[in-house]
Amino acid sequence: MMVRTETDHRTVVSRRALVGASAGAATAAALGLSATRMTAQTGTPAASPVAASTDTFIEPQVRASENGRLVMTLQAMEEATSGSPRMAYSDMLPGPTWRVRPGDNVKVALVNATTEGTNLHVHGLHVSPSGNSDNIFLHIEPGQTFNYEYQLPENHIPGTYWYHPHPHGVSAAQVGAGLAGAIIVEGGLDDLPELQGLNERILVLQGPFTGPGNQPQYLVNGQVNPVIEIQPGETQRWRLLNVSANAFFNLRLAGHAMHRIAIDGSPLPEAQTVDVQLLGPGERAEVLIQGGEAGIYELQSVAWSPDIPSQATDQFLVATMISAGEGITPAALPTTLIPFEGLGNDEIAAHREITFQENVTGPAFAIDNLAFVEDRVDQVVTLGTIEEWTIRNASPEWHPFHIHVNDFQVMSRNGVPESPHYEDTTLLPPNGEVVIRTRFADYTGRFVYHCHILVHEDAGMMAVVEVVE
Ligand SMILES: [Cu+2]
């Protein structure tokens, strides 16, 4: 039996970023492009030169299943760098990308080489929450190795997922230090004729770390402002993952629309053209990009939520796209994608109301007036049933709601019906509400729902659901 195991390591790539490589400017020069760029904000050429600290785009290493199996070791470790404290899986920032297929069996030996407890969560995967599967109640102590095993069902939805530690109280510190990586479940959209043969890129977004001069530093696949190359007219498929602990990425590519084909782990029934893709912590999207005329284009996170001072985010540069080389005739973009099987007409077994709160008295971050306690069950639901949850946000800040094991259809946001789609993490608007429907399919056991701003989760904004027969 062919089983791929982890055999090689490489140094955390961000070390190069810390010393300020200038490959991007060199690349631009080699391509004969003048040092002007399109800004994300205005779509017009900016006077300033290409940012000096760009780096050639590199993808995380891949661990791919073969013959239905993936076996690997992930060593959670602390990194001594000159910048902010870093942690890494197997000396990689981000960790290696798992490439698996529906029905696969995945075995991960998690080696805790850090000085504190950790564990492992597979965000968005529809797998058992019990035993040595996606069980976030496990505590893997320093020096301990734990053998996780995930059995993906044959009907698992192909898409973009990720993994990270989930130890209550220190999730923000560990994810924020760099412990995160992507999971790709193959199939689905991959098989659409319009998407076959496209250059595919994965952008694992992390930060802010503390960069030179104590400036916030955002990384793409461990690099500062990498250069992504595209040909004029070429179509590329980008998988965008916000695996930061607490940050929002409000992505805009100068001079280019993004054609969204998936949100979180699920394909959309129809492609959507957007100018800006907001990703809260934990959220993903897949977009198609068609290279514009030869030039340099910035991928920015544009200013977000300016009217909420505690969460307002200024614009920052994420990456640079260079369109160069032989122009090709743009292919027709797909419109209809994967047929949608929604929950809108199904029988609803129960309606629940869940409220996220920030309190002056009592727990500062709470759900339904309670801070998280791991041995208290907050919701008991019946296996196989569909429920509708109205999730209220009684605070003046955004909170990304996430629930493990089962994704959900977003029915409405602040009373406005949403187009048909599933998510596993969704933004609760300040003093607003989101209505979701979800089927508690296939797995009994205990798991959690929580805010994916991990400092909020660590402070108690998390609760337990138990699925029973
Ligand atoms: Cu929150």
Among residues of the chain, what percentage have pLDDT more than 70? 87
Q: Is the confidence at residue 43, as pLDDT, over 90? A: no
Instruction: Determine which of 28-32, 56-60, 117-121 has the lowest per-residue pLDDT on average.
Output: 28-32
Q: Encode pLDDT of 400-432 as tens digits.
A: 999 999 999 999 999 999 999 999 999 999 999
Within the chain, which residue ranges are assigned CATH 2.60.40.420? 60-183, 350-468
pLDDT computed for residue 41 by the predictor = 40
- As its CATH architecture, domain 350-468 has Sandwich (2.60)
Amino acid at 155: N
Q: Is the confidence at residue 371, as pLDDT, over 80? A: yes
d(CA 455, ligand 1 centre) in Å: 8
- As its CATH architecture, domain 60-183 has Sandwich (2.60)
pLDDT computed for residue 26 by the predictor = 40
The whole-angstrom separation of Cα 320 and Cα 311 is: 25
d(CA 360, ligand 1 centre) in Å: 15
d(CA 454, ligand 1 centre) in Å: 7
Q: How large is the C-alpha radius of gyration of the chain? A: 21
The whole-angstrom separation of Cα 234 and Cα 230 is: 6
Q: Is the confidence at residue 14, as pLDDT, over 90? A: no
Q: Encode pLDDT of 51-101 as tens digits.
A: 444 578 999 999 999 999 999 999 999 986 656 668 999 999 999 999 999
d(CA 369, ligand 1 centre) in Å: 14
Per-residue buried b or exposed e for 28-50, using 16+ beta carbons within 10 Å of the residue's own CB:
beeeebeeebbbbeeeeebeeeb
d(CA 358, ligand 1 centre) in Å: 9
Q: 284: part of which helix (H) or strand (E)?
A: strand 284-290
pLDDT band at 211 (very low <50, low <70, confident <90, very high): confident
Q: Encode pLDDT of 293-306 as tens digits.
A: 999 999 999 999 99
> ipTM more than 0.85?
no
d(CA 319, ligand 1 centre) in Å: 27
- The residue-averaged pLDDT of 162-186 equals 97
Backbone torsions φ then ψ of 320, nearest 5 degrees: -125, 130
Mean pLDDT over each residue of the chain, to the nearest integer: 89
Instruction: Determine which of 15-19, 376-380, 403-407 has the lowest per-residue pLDDT on average.
Output: 15-19
The whole-angstrom separation of Cα 170 and Cα 164 is: 12
d(CA 395, ligand 1 centre) in Å: 9
pLDDT computed for residue 418 by the predictor = 97
Amino acid at 32: G
Hey, what long-range contacts does 313-318 have (CB within 8 A, 24 or more apart)?
Answer: 313/247, 313/248, 313/250, 315/40, 315/41, 316/216, 316/218, 317/51, 317/218, 317/225, 318/203, 318/205, 318/218, 318/220, 318/225, 318/249, 318/251
Give me 34's structure tokens.
């003048």
